[in-house]
């Protein structure tokens, strides 16, 4: 996996990229605890965590490439997993979390397809300890974490706000200012629900997307507003 460190407004965020499809895992460390979003299996995180023994894990949505490290995290840390209520139900289903179909994403690349079939334990399920319906909030090491169920990319997609400085957008907000439609996603829902949620946040908030590079929310919104207005017209 590829790794980088992002510093923004007094926060240090470790970023880990899942090579097969650039799915992003994020980690913030506060002394003996770590905060992780969308875990994957990566020994680099263990090195960066040092002697931290406890992990608080948040999920942006239920798809396999964003939950594949949940059980691994529980093997290495005293771990509590949080998500929206819809996501919490769907991670327990190999059909809903798409793990049963994961290898077929790589049918056009035989090398990747064979790698997935031989190196991944599929299908896969996991458990969420605490779920929030519509909106949830957690205070962690002096930081305020807010979760908003949003739908969009998938039925279980949420937006996660950290100290009103960071937005973990999952696959609803990607690095090119687009959103990734899942089988249940459609533009009208995005315009009517998700865009208003994004407008209510500070444009100076740093977006940490489910795939690709981070940027300020204002940058993403400018692209999204223009494109959705064009599509609506």
Domain ranges for the chain: 2-232
- E strands, the chain, are 2-8, 11-18, 23-30, 33-37, 54-58, 78-84, 130-132, 135-140, 143-149, 158-162, 166-170, 206-209, 215-216
The distance of Cα 119 from the centroid of its chain, to the nearest Å, equals 22
**pLDDT at residue 7, as a whole number:** 97
Which backbone phi and psi does 28 adopt, to 5 degrees?
-120, 130
Q: Give the sheet arrangement for strand 2-8, strand by strand.
A: 2-8, 11-18, 23-30, 33-37, 54-58, 78-84, 130-132
- Computed on alpha carbons and rounded to an integer, the radius of gyration of the chain in Å comes to 17
| Structure-token pair, residue 177 | 């200012």
Q: Is 111 helix (H, G, I), strand (E, B) or coil?
A: helix
Beta strand 11-18 pairing with 143-149: unpaired
User: Residues 29-43: pLDDT tens digits?
Assistant: 999 999 999 999 999
**pLDDT at residue 178, as a whole number:** 59
**pLDDT at residue 176, as a whole number:** 64
**pLDDT at residue 181, as a whole number:** 53
Fold for 2-232, please state it.
Answer: Metallo-beta-lactamase; Chain A (3.60.15)
- E strands, 10-86, are 11-18, 23-30, 33-37, 54-58, 78-84
* Count of beta carbons in the 10 Å neighbourhood of residue 154: 28
**pLDDT at residue 185, as a whole number:** 53
**pLDDT at residue 71, as a whole number:** 98
Contacts of 141 (CB under 8 A, 6+ apart): 30, 31, 33, 35
Sign of CA dihedral 185, 187, 188, 193: positive
**pLDDT at residue 15, as a whole number:** 98
The verdict on pTM exceeding 0.85 is yes
Sign of CA dihedral 57, 43, 154, 160: positive
- Which residue stretches of the chain have pLDDT < 50? 183
**pLDDT at residue 192, as a whole number:** 83
DSSP 117: H
């Amino acid at each position: 996996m590829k790794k980088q460190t992002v510093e923004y407004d007094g926060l240090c965020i470790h970023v880990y990229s899942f090579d097969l499809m650039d799915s992003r895992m994020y980690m913030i460390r506060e002394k003996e605890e770590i905060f992780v979003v969308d875990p994957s299996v990566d020994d680099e995180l263990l090195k960066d965590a040092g002697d931290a023994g406890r992990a608080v894990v948040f999920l942006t949505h239920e798809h396999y490439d964003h939950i594949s490290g949940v059980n691994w995290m529980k093997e290495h840390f005293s771990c509590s997993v949080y998500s929206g209520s819809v996501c919490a139900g769907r991670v327990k289903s190999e059909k809903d979390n798409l793990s049963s179909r994961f290898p077929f994403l790589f049918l056009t690349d035989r090398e990747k397809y064979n790698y997935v079939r031989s190196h991944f334990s599929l299908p896969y399920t996991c458990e969420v300890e605490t779920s929030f319906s519509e909106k949830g909030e957690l205070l962690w090491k002096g930081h305020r974490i807010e979760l908003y169920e949003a739908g969009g990319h998938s039925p279980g997609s949420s937006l996660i706000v950290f100290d009103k400085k960071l937005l973990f957008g999952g696959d609803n907000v990607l690095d090119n200012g687009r959103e990734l439609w899942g089988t249940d996603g459609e533009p009208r829902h995005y315009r009517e629900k998700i865009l208003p949620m994004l407008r209510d946040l500070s444009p100076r908030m740093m977006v940490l997307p489910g795939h690709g590079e981070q940027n300020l929310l204002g940058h993403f919104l400018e692209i999204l507003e223009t494109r959705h207005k064009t599509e609506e017209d």
